[in-house]
Amino acid sequence: MDSARMRTIGTTIVFLFLLSTAQAANYLSLVNQFMAPQNAARVAIRMRPLVWDARLARYAQWYANQRRKDCALRHSNGPYGENIFWGSGNGWTPSQAAVAWVSEKKWFNYWSNSCAGGQQCGHYTQIVWGRTKRIGCAKVVCDGRRGVFMTCNYDPPGNYIGERPY
């Protein structure tokens, strides 16, 4: 093999390595953006952090892809706990979705095990559910740039009526 061809092959291998490294870095950034606010909420109440689960992430991606066409805030009704988020435009980040869910803490009253009147806090309680150990999330930009849909799935699921999250 001539030296020009060897350089071309070497350059191609380096390019593919850098491309895969960049993709891996983007994926790790996405994972960290979803997880950091949620695990911070768990640590704040002395709970173990959630662990990223590739199976849950695949499920979340599968479902997010279903919502890509309509961007509907509709749950998958699957076997996992689930938080969903929609924001108009295409600039929403996973951290913004996770922070929105965590911010519901202000509406949750542990002693009465309920949300303040007219408020939501089920996203927060799913995040801090004591028996939940694993998480997987996904993000899609909806067709026609109608918004960003994000979802996180939790295993084991939480938010059982009559039970406290922790």
Percent of the chain with pLDDT over 70: 84
Nearest to 56 by CA among 165, 149, 151: 151
Cα–Cα distance list, 123 to 2, 18, 23, 146 (Å): 61, 37, 29, 23
Please give the model's pTM, rounded to 2 decimal places. Answer: 0.85
pLDDT at position 97: 98
User: Which residues contact residue 31 at a Cβ distance below 8 angstroms, ignoring those fewer than 6 apart?
Assistant: 52, 57, 137
pLDDT at position 145: 81
pLDDT at position 6: 52
pLDDT at position 61: 98
User: Residue ranges of the chain with pLDDT lower than 70?
Assistant: 1-25
Pairing of strands 148-155, 114-115: unpaired
Pairing of strands 51-52, 134-141: parallel
Report d(CA 90, CA 144) in Å as an integer.
10
pLDDT at position 16: 45
